[in-house]
Structures are given as structure tokens and as C-alpha cells.
């Protein structure tokens, strides 16, 4: 008898979900749009660097060096001026990224006793871009220098570089595992919390509690459709990522699936807890956003690397379940590793799931008493 | 207008009586600002290095020492085995492997040229790129030292003295760079979300229909909705700026009134989007989802997380119609670089144009409701 | 059937129709309401009453047909209509997070009453409802019956020619319902036309004239006495039952 009741309940939940077309569309679109954006548009490689040149006394050397910059393919000279005071306005207006200032008599000094001086001023408001621009600029200058001195000495060390796990430095590769976490959190935590608290608010939850369904069955019945939805969502995103952007999937699909289920359970339990502890639907919505979505997006290492965070913050990220899941997903997808490397993180997730699920079930019991 | 006065009074009364939302609108953005300011950094800290040195010469050790001496690299392990190094990288113990071949010193002395191999964990392509830049600079510097040591008599070699200076962020503090953008995000979410949810709430409660039946002009209704929220968003910005200044000591080189002027313009567009969303959603939940969806796209395509100039051409064109992008540009220019009114004239103009456009579209869409 | 002279008509609808895609909610209804009448617009749930009222108050545009309310056309003169009518909807029109007094002031202001008028009429309204001591209470804290009576009074605050009441007595006890109808009679006695929709057939007895909608059409129109005689029954409820049985049942 309980089986039938549970099934009827699940069917009702599915109907609810499918009827809210708008929310459903957004749920399905959101990860797809993000994959597309990250795949096509969002990059961090530095290209098309705008160079402002300050050259009070142009000579063979300054012109040659200028041409080196242009022919490197990375730089475009946007202005040539005689005095330094152009730099400030250019930087302020965001019209140049770097300025090269030759001291007067540059070419003479090159062959003389005093060193030829030049100033490389980089707009370093974005520190990373600034660093990369500086290093590219230095490379161009160094190449010129070594050409000048070839035959007359100078040592060259050629640096062979290999970028492992992501040779093309695609940001989408980094992002997709995090996206899975986000989608799972969104559906499992947020939607469950909203749906449960809506029933609570409307009073239909009490009807359920009075029915032959046991609390654990009510939870399962609520949770199963959202679990299904979450997975459908993840699969579409993964397919899009793989087909369109060739995001690698080097490890075991089954392992990722299993880990995703564990992570979903953690999020679901959180959603249930939030619904149980809040008094209105609006409060549940916002609490779920705050407690599950934001940390999963900001503190999980999905966008901002945990290694970059200040010392006091990185331990805090340990309580964010998404943080562990992302390590696992990245390991499986980008590195192709399995449990032997990921057992620690998996264990953390399993423990979180057990603890939170127990708490969630218990939070429903008092209502019967 | 007299009716506007009455409506505004109602809106303010309702807003201040809704304790829950009030607390939320103040606490959440500030908490987010505090955490995000610390978390939102792409700063590349020290990378752990595994050295596979097959040369064991003083020259090779010299390179390793140079790497370790810089703040950017920490040599944590060494062995002659590349397999062990790969293992360490797989196990996430190191993110860089430096491999020096066994004829390194000999090649330098005889041929003045040698190779080293660096392997980077490029899961995070951006970080890997920056780490590569640092490594490249150190290697080049070392090569120069070696050159000077080996051939000290080559006084015919041209010497250049390069002074490199980073403007506007001498500490290379990522937080200073991110906070202006975070403030924009804050203000956007508060403005757009509150607007959408506020109007949809009246829809849900039925009071919206009641007002439609009165002689209240639509323009007055919309103005009465938007003005209080506009003020609240500006208030949030003030709070955010205070926190940024006194807690994080973010530099504020430029004119604060200019910042507020830009914000006032920007918010017209942001609130307009909220108004537009309110016509699409029937429940507050839908309003929340749609808002977050749209705001997310705007934020991602605004240069907040990844530089606009790194985007492909077509994407950069799209960002031109994104008011968030222009506002972030202005914030960064004014706060970090001390830009003045004339410096940010272009983005300001874009903001004004968008404000008007978005609001007009939203009002028109809103008017279509009466079928 | 009672007729009214055209120039005095408060509401005049001719072949009014509203379609939503395939579905016809209001199907060529024709009726009129004279000034000062209490007109009951009856029908079961889903018969099209709410849609019809929304057309009359200018919330929806008709697909076909025409209607004039307070002498103004519902398609082209909506702004004028709005100034001359009052409206109380099913789902309470007052703001539960504003006080009684604040709600009255708000609607007074919206309808263009001067500050003096608002002040004076507030006093009168509060006294007539016995709410003077609760003027500073949030409307949300009032019991349902009081909310409804207050909403009705607020709808009359600007002394409109016609007041539309959409299911005003839903979910309220019989005594409160009777009190509400007394309020309606008082308004009618002052010359206000009252257009009320309801699915409580017994309330029909209180109206001057009624119409009964079935499946989007007007199936009966006249005074309660006329209709009872026409169908040979003793209550309006029975009239409705007869009509419902005769109506084609759509899936």
C-alpha cells in the first residue's frame, strides 16, 4: 500500500515541476548558457595589447624596437608621443595597456658606455593581466637585445613549456566541473527548499504528514523528482560541453555519476533542513540562496581559485560541500584519476551526506509528536 | 504630482515595515561584500615545484635557487624521476615540474644555449599562464646573469636598463581590483532583484489589479515603485563604499560624487530590467529565477571576472550594449586610477543612453499587460 | 422585463465577447443596468463572470462587441471610466501591511480627493464601520469580515457612480454577509449603482435585477420574481439548477 502512495506522490511532484514551464526553462537554459559563454566568450588570455610609445628622439634603435613590438602580433601601437604626460590620460581612459618610454638618445647609449634606459609602464590595475603584459613586453625587448648581441656573447635558455590537463588553456575546461556542482546545488538544494516550504506554507504538508506516508518517504518522494531533474540538467550541460567545446572526459563516467549522487544528497538534505527551519516561502528561498548557492559559486573554487584566497578564508571553504565535489569532478574529467587519488574528498562528501540526511529526517519528526 | 506623493508614501511605509526584507537587503550585501572581497581573487601565489634535475651541476642548482628565492615558487621536492614528479602533480602536491636535462651546464658553457622543460598544471589556464610568465622572467634573468658571468669582457655588448613599473596597483593587490566590480554586482542584484520581486508581489497579492482599476496613471505607478528602490540601491552603494574604504582600504583616488552620478544613471537601467522581469514572472519565485538568470549573464559578460579585452571580437561588441560593463569600467577608472569626468565621458554616455532605452522598453512592455 | 431609458444607463453591454485562443470565456452577452440599481451578476464558478467584470472595469479588452460604463466606451475611454467607478475584487484590494487609515488616505489621494475631503470622509467612514479605534491597526490584523466591509467602504470613498463588487462575500459568516448587504443597500439608496457578482444564489434575492451566466452566455435576465415565475420555481437557486441541467456540458 505504501508503494502506491509513494508513487502517486512522486507523480504529483513531477507534475508540479513540469507545469512551471518558466522555472523549468530557466533551469535547463542556465547551465547551457553558461557553458556557451565560457566556451565562446570568456577567456583570460591576454591579446591585442595596446602600446603607447613615448619617444622624444626617435632613432634606428627605438624605431626597430617599436617594430618588434608590432610584428610580434601581440601588440598594437595606439599612440606615439614625445612627452610622458600622455600616459596618464591614456591609462585613465582605458585606451592603452602599456607604455614604452625611451629616454632621449637611446640608440647612442646602446653603443656607448652608459646603459640605454627605457621605462616600461604597465597598467597594473588588474594584477594578473599586468604581469602577463609585462612579461610579454620583456620578452620582445629581450629578443631584440639578444639579436643585437648575437655573435658577441649572451646566453640563451630556451624554456620548453607543457601545459598539462588543459593544453589549450581553455577556461571552459576549468569551469565545467564547477558548473555541474552549481546545477546540482540549484536543483537539489534551492528547488527542494522552495517546494517544501511552499507546501508548508499552504498547509498541504500537514495533510501529507497525517497520511500513511512516513517522513522518510515524504522526503524521498519530494527529493526523487528533483534528483532526476538535476541529472537531466547535468547531462545536457555535459553533452553540450563535450560536443561543442570538446571538454575532455578522461576518467570514469560511473565514478562521476556516483559522486554526483552523493553530492546531490548533501544538497537535498540541506534544502530540507532549510525548509524545516524557515517560516515562510520567501525566507526559505532567500536562505537557500544564501547558504547553498552563493558559497557554491564563490567559495568552492569554481571561479576563484582557493589557492588564491587569503590564509584565513581557505579553511572556511572546507565546510562548503561544493568545494570537495569540484576537486573530485576536475580530477575525473581533466586528469582521469580515480578513487585512489580522490578517496579523501569522497569520504568527506559521504560523511557530510550521512550527517545532513540524519539531521533532515530528524527535523521532520517533531511535527508528528 | 500629488498622486505621486501619496504613492511614494505608501511604498516607503511598506518597505520599512517589511522588517525581513529590510534586514536582508542590508545584511546580505554587506556579508557578501566582506566575503567576496577576500575570496574574489585570481592572485597567483607561490606555486609548489618539483625539480627533476638530471645535471646536478652548479649551473642547474643556480637556476633552482633563483626559482626558490623568488616569492612565486617553492621547491618542495626533487628527484631524478619524471614518473614521481608526474605522480606528485596528479596528487595535487605540486603544480609545476622543472626538468633540467643532464647536459645543461655543458651546453651553456660550450654553446651558450640550453633547454629546460617546465610542466604546468593547466587545469586553471589563467593561473598557469601567469605562473608561466613568472617562470619565464626568472629564467630569462638567470640567462642574462650567466651571460654576464661567462663573458665579462664583452663590453661591446649593448646594455639596456629596463625599469618596469606597474601603475595603479603597486601592491598588486587583487582585492583593490575586484572590489569596485563587487560593488557594482551588489548594487545590481539589490536594484534589479528587489524591483522585480516587489512588483511581482503586488501581482501575486492582487493589489496590482486593484490599482489598475483606479485612475492612477501608469507612469506614476512605475515612478513610485522605482524611486524608493533607486534610493535604497544608492544607499547600499554608500554602505559598500564605506566598508571598502575603512575595512579594506581600497584606494579611492577619484571623485566620489562622480561615482554616485554614474551609479544613479546605471541604476535606471538596472531597475528597468527589474521592471521588465516583473512583467514576465507570475510568482516571486519565478521573479527570482529569471532575475538571477539575466543578471548572471550580464555579470559574466561585463569584465567583472574575466577581462573584456580577452574576449573575441564579436563578444566585445556585445559587451558594448551591457550597462554593467560600462559601470564597472567607470568604477575601476575612477576609484583605482583617479579618472575624472572627461576621462569616463564615453561610458557615462552609454549608461545614460541605456538607462533611457531600457526604461522605455520596460515601461512599454509593462503597458502591454492590459490585454 | 424592466427597461431603463438609454440615457440613464449605468452599464450598457451589447454582444460583448472575450476569447482566449480557442476558448470563449464570454459569449456575446447583452444586458444593461440602470442608474441606482443593485444588479446581481450570477453564475457558477468558471461561467465567465470574472472575465466579464474585468472587461467592464477596463482590465481586459473585449474581442468583440461593445459596452459603455457610466456612459463611456470600455475600449476607448478607459481613463474616464476609472474615475467614475469603484472596485472591490475577490482577493482583497487593501494593503495588509498598511493601517486602516493609511489605506483610506492612499485611495483617497489616488482618486483625487483633497486633503480636507480625505480627512472628513475618513472620519465618517471609520465611524460608520465602528473602526475609529482601530484606525491605526494594520489591515492584515483585521478579521476577514471587517476587511471586506472596509474594502467596500474604501471603494465608495470617492463617491463613484457605479461600484463593482467581485465575489465580495466569499468565505464569510452569514451575519457578516447580511451586514455587507445592508451596506450595499445604503449605497444604492444614495444613488450608487451596485454591480455585484456572486455564486451564492440566495444573495440574488437581495438584488433588483439579476442575470445568470452559464458557459459564457447569459441564460436568464430579469428581476428575481420574474425569473422564478418564468421557470416555475420558488427560489433563484432552483432557477440556476434548471439552467445548469439544460446547458450543454463541455468536456
Residue-wise pLDDT for A15-56, tens only, equals: 888 888 888 888 888 888 888 887 788 877 788 899 999 998
Distance CA C211, CA C204 (A): 9
Phi, psi of C28 (to 5 degrees): 50, 55
Which of B40, B41, B126 is nearest residue A171 as measured by Cβ atoms? B126
**Claim: this prediction has a pTM higher than 0.80:** yes
Query: Cβ–Cβ of B215/C92 closer than 8 Å?
Result: no
Q: Which of A20, A101, A144, A154 to mutate to test the interface with B (most CBs of B within 10 A)?
A: A154
**Measuring CA to CA, how many Å separate B194 from each of A194, B159, B199?**
18, 62, 8
All structural domains of chain A with their residue ranges: 26-42+169-367, 49-149
Beta strand residue intervals within C74-185, DSSP E: 85-88, 162-166
pLDDT band at A366; cut points 50, 70, 90: low
Beta strand residue intervals within B150-293, DSSP E: 160-167
Out of A227-236, C2-11, C70-79, least confident range? C2-11
Distance CA B307, CA B130 (A): 14
Out of A338-352, C18-32, C77-91, C184-198, least confident range? C77-91
pLDDT attached to residue C4: 46
pLDDT attached to residue C220: 87
pLDDT attached to residue C6: 46
pLDDT band at B229; cut points 50, 70, 90: very high
Beta strand residue intervals within A35-190, DSSP E: 49-55, 75-81, 98-102, 116-123, 156-164
Coil, helix or strand at residue A156: strand
pLDDT band at C248; cut points 50, 70, 90: low
Coil, helix or strand at residue A76: strand
Average pLDDT on C186-204 reads 87
Cell of A102: 625611451
Nearest-5° angle of CA A321, CA A326, CA A328? 100
Query: Cβ–Cβ of A41/B157 closer than 8 Å?
Result: no
Beta strand residue intervals within chain A, DSSP E: 49-55, 75-81, 98-102, 116-123, 156-164
Query: Cβ–Cβ of B44/A128 closer than 8 Å?
Result: yes
Residue B261 has pLDDT above 90, yes or no: yes
pLDDT attached to residue C7: 52
What does DSSP say about strands A98-102 and A116-123: parallel, antiparallel, or unpaired?
Answer: antiparallel
Q: Which residues from chain A sit within 8 angstroms of residue B305, using beta carbons?
A: 42, 303
Side by side, the strands of the sheet bearing C9-20 are: C23-34, C9-20, C64-69, C72-73
- Chain A residue with minimum CA distance to B176: A125
Quote the percentage of chain A above a pLDDT of 70.
Answer: 96
Query: pLDDT tens digits, residue range B5-25?
Result: 999 999 999 999 888 888 888
Coil, helix or strand at residue A313: helix
Cα–Cα nearest to A270, from A186, A176, A368, A180: A186
pLDDT attached to residue B144: 80
- Whether C63 contacts C40, CB under 8 Å: no
pLDDT band at A150; cut points 50, 70, 90: low
- Whether B211 contacts B136, CB under 8 Å: no
Q: Which residues from chain B sit within 8 angstroms of residue C85, using beta carbons?
A: 213
Q: Which of B123, B135, B284, B321 to mutate to test the interface with A (most CBs of A within 10 A)?
A: B123
- Whether A184 contacts A263, CB under 8 Å: yes
Query: Cβ–Cβ of A152/B133 closer than 8 Å?
Result: no
pLDDT attached to residue B158: 64
Query: Cβ–Cβ of B166/A124 closer than 8 Å?
Result: yes
Q: Which residues from chain B sit within 8 angstroms of residue C98, using beta carbons?
A: 10, 13-14, 17
Which residues, listed in sequence order, are joined to residue A160 by a DSSP beta bridge? Answer: B117
Residue C241 has pLDDT above 60, yes or no: yes
- Cell match 501581482: residue? B203
What interface predicted TM-score (ipTM) does this complex get? 0.83
**Cα within 13 Å of Cα(C91), Cβ side:** 11
Distance CA B361, CA B275 (A): 10
From the CA of B371, how many Å to the nearest CA of chain C?
A: 5
pLDDT band at A326; cut points 50, 70, 90: very high
Phi, psi of B21 (to 5 degrees): -65, -35
Residue C136 has pLDDT above 60, yes or no: yes
Residue A369 has pLDDT above 80, yes or no: no
Which of B32, B119, B310 is nearest residue A44 as measured by Cβ atoms? B310
pLDDT attached to residue A334: 86
Cα–Cα nearest to A144, from A62, A49, A57, A51: A62
- Whether B124 contacts B305, CB under 8 Å: no
**Measuring CA to CA, how many Å separate B211 from each of A47, B303, C105?**
54, 41, 14
Distance CA A288, CA A276 (A): 12
* A318 CB neighbour count, 10 Å cutoff: 12
Residue A367 has pLDDT above 60, yes or no: no
Domain(s) labelled CATH 3.40.1710.10 in chain B stretch across: 47-150
Query: pLDDT tens digits, residue range A111-134?
Result: 777 788 889 999 988 888 888 898
CATH of B47-150, one of 1.10.510.10, 3.20.20.60, 3.90.1150.10, 3.40.1710.10: 3.40.1710.10
Residues 6+ apart with CB under 8 A from B144: A154, A155
Beta strand residue intervals within C106-226, DSSP E: 162-166, 193-198, 209-214, 217-222
Distance CA B250, CA B335 (A): 8
Determine the longest span between alpha carbons in chain A, in angstroms: 98
- Whether B267 contacts B230, CB under 8 Å: yes
pLDDT band at C106; cut points 50, 70, 90: very high
What does DSSP say about strands C38-43 and C193-198: parallel, antiparallel, or unpaired?
Answer: parallel
Residue C126 has pLDDT above 70, yes or no: yes
Q: Which residues from chain C sit within 8 angstroms of residue B213, using beta carbons?
A: 57-59, 82, 85, 87
Between C89 and B354, the higher pLDDT residue: B354
Cα–Cα nearest to B180, from B250, B246, B90: B250
Residues 6+ apart with CB under 8 A from B198: B225, B229, B278
Distance CA A177, CA A174 (A): 7
Interface A:C, ≥3 CB–CB pairs < 8 Å: no
Please state which CATH class domain A49-149 belongs to.
alpha beta
Query: Cβ–Cβ of B10/C97 closer than 8 Å?
Result: no
Residues 6+ apart with CB under 8 A from C179: C145, C149
- For A:45-84, CB contacts with B below 8 A are 45-48
Residues 6+ apart with CB under 8 A from A242: A249
Distance CA B225, CA C44 (A): 37
Distance CA B179, CA B40 (A): 9
Residues 6+ apart with CB under 8 A from C14: C30, C65, C66, C67
Residue B274 has pLDDT above 90, yes or no: yes
Query: pLDDT tens digits, residue range A93-115?
Result: 889 999 999 988 888 887 777 78
Cell of A344: 579523501
Average pLDDT on B208-220 reads 87
Residue A322 has pLDDT above 90, yes or no: yes
pLDDT attached to residue B327: 95
pLDDT band at B205; cut points 50, 70, 90: confident
pLDDT attached to residue B348: 94
Distance CA C217, CA C222 (A): 15
- Chain B residue with minimum CA distance to A305: B42
- Cell match 598594437: residue? A76
- Whether B261 contacts B237, CB under 8 Å: no
Chains that touch C (3 or more CB pairs under 8 A): B
- Whether B57 contacts B105, CB under 8 Å: yes
Mean pLDDT of chain B: 88
Residues in chain A: 369
From the CA of A369, how many Å to the nearest CA of chain B?
A: 30
Nearest-5° angle of CA A165, CA B73, CA B102? 75
Coil, helix or strand at residue B152: coil
Phi, psi of C210 (to 5 degrees): -135, 160
List helix spans (H) across C130-190.
144-156, 174-189
- Cell match 458557459: residue? C215
Distance CA B121, CA B128 (A): 7
Which of A122, A138, A139 is nearest residue B166 as measured by Cβ atoms? A122
Phi, psi of C11 (to 5 degrees): -130, 135
Q: Which of B309, B326, B339 to mutate to test the interface with A (most CBs of A within 10 A)?
A: B309
Question: How many helices (H) does chain A have, and how many strands (E)?
Answer: 16, 5
pLDDT band at C92; cut points 50, 70, 90: low
H or E stretch covering A329: helix A321-330
Between B308 and C92, the higher pLDDT residue: B308
Q: Which residues from chain B sit within 8 angstroms of residue C106, using beta carbons?
A: 6-7, 9-10
Query: Cβ–Cβ of A92/B333 closer than 8 Å?
Result: yes
Q: Which of B159, B278, B324 to mutate to test the interface with A (most CBs of A within 10 A)?
A: B159
User: Please, what are the domains in chain C?
Assistant: 6-246 (3.40.50.300)
Query: Cβ–Cβ of B312/A337 closer than 8 Å?
Result: no
Coil, helix or strand at residue A154: coil
- For A:207-266, CB contacts with B below 8 A are none
Cα–Cα nearest to C148, from C92, C106, C194: C92
pLDDT attached to residue B20: 81
Amino acid at each position: 500500500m505504501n508503494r502506491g502512495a509513494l508513487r502517486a506522490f512522486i507523480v504529483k511532484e513531477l507534475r508540479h515541476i513540469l507545469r512551471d514551464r518558466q522555472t523549468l526553462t530557466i533551469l535547463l537554459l542556465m547551465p547551457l548558457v553558461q557553458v556557451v559563454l565560457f566556451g565562446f566568450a570568456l577567456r583570460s588570455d591576454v591579446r591585442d595589447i595596446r602600446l603607447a610609445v613615448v619617444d622624444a628622439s626617435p632613432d634606428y634603435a627605438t624605431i626597430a624596437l617599436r617594430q618588434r613590438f608590432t610584428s610580434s602580433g601581440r601588440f598594437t601601437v595606439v599612440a606615439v608621443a614625445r612627452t610622458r604626460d600622455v600616459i596618464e590620460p591614456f591609462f585613465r581612459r582605458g585606451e592603452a595597456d602599456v607604455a614604452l618610454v625611451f629616454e632621449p638618445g637611446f640608440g647612442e647609449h646602446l653603443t656607448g658606455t652608459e646603459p640605454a634606459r627605457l621605462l616600461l609602464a604597465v597598467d597594473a590595475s588588474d594584477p594578473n593581466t599586468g604581469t602577463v603584459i609585462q612579461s610579454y613586453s620583456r620578452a620582445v625587448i629581450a629578443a631584440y637585445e639578444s639579436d643585437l648581441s648575437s655573435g658577441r656573447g649572451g646566453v640563451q635558455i630556451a624554456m620548453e613549456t607543457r601545459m598539462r590537463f588543459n593544453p589549450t588553456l581553455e577556461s571552459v575546461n576549468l569551469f565545467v566541473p564547477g558548473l555541474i556542482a552549481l546545477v546540482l546545488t540549484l536543483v537539489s538544494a534551492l528547488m527542494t527548499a522552495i517546494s517544501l516550504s511552499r507546501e508548508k506554507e499552504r498547509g498541504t504538508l500537514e495533510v501529507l504528514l497525517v497520511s500513511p506516508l512516513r517522513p522518510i518517504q515524504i522526503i524521498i518522494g519530494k527529493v526523487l523528482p528533483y534528483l532526476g531533474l538535476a541529472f537531466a540538467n547535468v547531462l545536457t550541460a555535459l553533452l553540450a560541453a563535450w560536443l561543442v567545446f570538446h571538454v575532455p572526459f578522461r576518467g570514469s563516467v560511473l565514478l562521476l555519476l556516483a559522486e554526483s549522487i552523493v553530492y546531490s544528497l548533501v544538497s537535498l538534505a540541506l534544502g530540507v533542513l532549510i525548509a524545516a527551519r524557515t517560516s515562510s516561502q520567501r525566507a526559505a528561498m532567500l536562505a537557500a540562496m544564501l547558504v547553498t548557492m552563493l558559497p557554491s559559486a564563490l567559495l568552492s573554487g569554481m571561479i576563484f581559485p582557493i589557492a588564491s584566497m587569503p590564509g584565513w578564508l581557505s579553511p572556511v571553504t572546507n565546510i562548503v560541500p561544493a568545494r570537495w565535489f569540484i576537486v573530485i569532478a576536475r580530477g575525473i574529467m581533466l586528469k582521469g584519476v580515480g578513487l585512489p587519488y580522490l578517496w579523501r574528498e569522497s569520504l568527506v562528501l559521504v560523511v557530510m551526506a550521512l550527517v545532513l540526511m540524519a539531521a533532515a529526517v530528524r527535523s521532520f519528526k517533531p511535527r508528528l509528536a | 504630482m500629488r498622486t505621486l506623493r501619496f504613492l511614494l508614501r505608501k511604498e516607503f511605509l511598506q518597505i520599512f515595515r517589511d522588517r525581513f526584507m529590510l534586514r536582508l537587503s542590508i545584511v546580505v550585501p554587506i556579508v557578501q561584500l566582506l566575503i567576496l572581497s577576500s575570496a574574489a581573487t585570481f592572485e597567483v601565489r607561490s606555486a609548489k615545484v618539483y625539480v627533476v634535475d638530471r645535471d646536478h651541476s652548479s649551473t642547474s642548482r643556480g637556476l633552482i635557487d633563483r626559482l626558490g628565492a623568488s616569492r612565486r615558487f617553492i621547491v618542495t621536492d626533487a628527484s631524478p624521476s619524471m614518473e614521481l614528479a608526474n605522480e606528485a602533480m596528479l596528487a595535487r602536491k605540486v603544480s609545476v615540474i622543472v626538468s633540467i636535462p643532464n647536459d645543461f651546464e655543458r651546453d651553456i658553457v660550450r654553446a651558450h644555449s640550453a633547454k629546460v622543460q617546465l610542466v604546468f598544471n593547466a587545469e586553471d589556464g589563467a593561473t598557469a599562464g601567469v605562473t608561466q610568465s613568472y617562470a619565464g622572467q626568472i629564467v630569462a634573468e638567470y640567462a642574462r646573469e650567466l651571460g654576464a658571468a661567462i663573458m665579462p669582457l664583452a663590453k661591446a655588448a649593448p646594455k639596456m636598463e629596463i625599469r618596469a613599473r606597474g601603475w595603479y596597483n603597486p601592491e598588486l593587490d587583487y582585492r583593490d581590483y575586484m572590489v569596485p566590480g563587487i560593488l557594482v554586482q551588489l548594487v545590481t542584484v539589490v536594484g534589479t532583484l528587489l524591483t522585480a520581486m516587489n512588483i511581482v508581489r503586488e501581482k501575486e497579492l492582487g493589489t496590482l489589479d486593484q490599482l489598475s482599476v483606479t485612475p492612477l496613471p501608469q507612469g506614476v505607478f512605475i515612478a513610485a515603485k522605482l524611486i524608493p528602490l533607486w534610493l535604497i540601491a544608492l544607499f547600499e552603494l554608500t554602505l559598500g563604499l564605506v566598508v571598502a574604504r575603512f575595512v579594506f582600504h581600497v584606494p579611492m583616488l577619484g571623485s566620489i560624487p562622480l561615482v554616485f552620478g554614474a551609479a544613479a544613471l546605471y541604476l535606471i537601467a538596472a531597475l528597468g530590467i527589474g521592471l521588465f522581469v516583473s512583467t514576465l514572472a507570475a510568482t516571486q519565485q519565478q521573479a527570482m529565477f529569471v532575475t538571477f538568470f539575466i543578471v548572471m549573464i550580464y555579470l559574466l559578460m561585463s569584465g567583472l571576472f574575466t577581462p573584456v579585452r580577452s574576449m573575441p571580437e564579436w563578444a566585445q561588441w556585445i559587451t558594448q550594449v551591457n550597462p554593467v560593463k560600462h559601470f564597472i569600467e567607470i568604477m575601476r577608472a575612477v576609484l583605482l586610477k583617479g579618472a575624472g569626468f572627461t576621462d569616463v565621458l564615453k561610458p557615462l554616455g552609454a549608461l545614460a543612453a541605456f538607462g533611457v532605452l531600457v526604461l522605455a522598453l520596460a515601461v512599454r512592455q509593462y503597458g502591454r499587460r492590459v490585454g | 422585463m424592466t427597461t431603463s431609458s438609454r440615457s440613464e444607463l449605468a452599464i450598457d453591454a451589447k454582444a460583448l465577447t472575450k476569447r482566449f485562443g480557442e476558448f470563449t470565456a464570454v459569449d456575446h452577452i447583452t444586458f444593461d443596468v440602470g442608474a441606482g440599481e443593485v444588479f446581481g451578476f450570477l453564475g457558477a464558478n468558471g461561467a465567465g463572470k470574472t472575465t466579464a467584470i474585468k472587461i467592464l472595469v477596463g482590465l481586459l479588452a473585449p474581442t468583440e462587441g461593445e459596452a459603455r460604463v457610466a456612459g463611456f466606451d470600455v475600449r476607448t475611454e478607459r481613463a474616464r471610466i476609472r474615475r467614475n467607478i469603484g472596485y472591490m475584487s475577490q482577493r482583497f484590494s487593501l494593503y495588509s501591511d498598511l493601517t486602516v487609515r493609511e489605506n483610506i488616505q492612499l485611495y483617497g489621494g489616488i482618486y483625487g480627493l483633497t486633503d480636507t475631503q480625505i480627512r472628513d470622509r475618513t472620519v465618517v467612514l471609520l465611524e460608520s464601520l465602528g473602526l475609529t479605534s482601530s484606525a491605526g491597526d494594520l489591515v492584515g490584523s483585521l478579521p476577514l469580515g471587517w476587511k471586506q466591509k472596509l474594502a467596500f467602504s474604501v471603494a465608495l470613498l470617492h463617491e463613484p457612480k457605479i461600484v463593482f463588487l467581485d465575489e465580495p462575500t466569499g468565505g464569510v459568516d452569514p451575519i457578516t454577509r447580511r451586514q455587507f448587504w445592508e451596506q450595499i443597500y445604503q449605497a444604492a439608496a444614495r444613488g450608487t449603482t451596485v454591480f455585484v457578482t456572486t455564486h451564492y444564489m440566495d444573495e440574488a434575492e437581495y438584488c433588483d435585477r439579476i442575470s445568470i451566466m452559464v458557459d459564457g452566455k447569459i441564460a436568464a435576465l430579469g428581476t428575481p420574481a420574474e425569473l422564478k415565475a418564468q421557470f416555475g420555481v420558488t427560489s433563484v437557486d432552483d432557477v440556476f439548477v434548471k439552467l445548469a441541467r439544460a446547458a450543454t456540458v463541455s468536456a
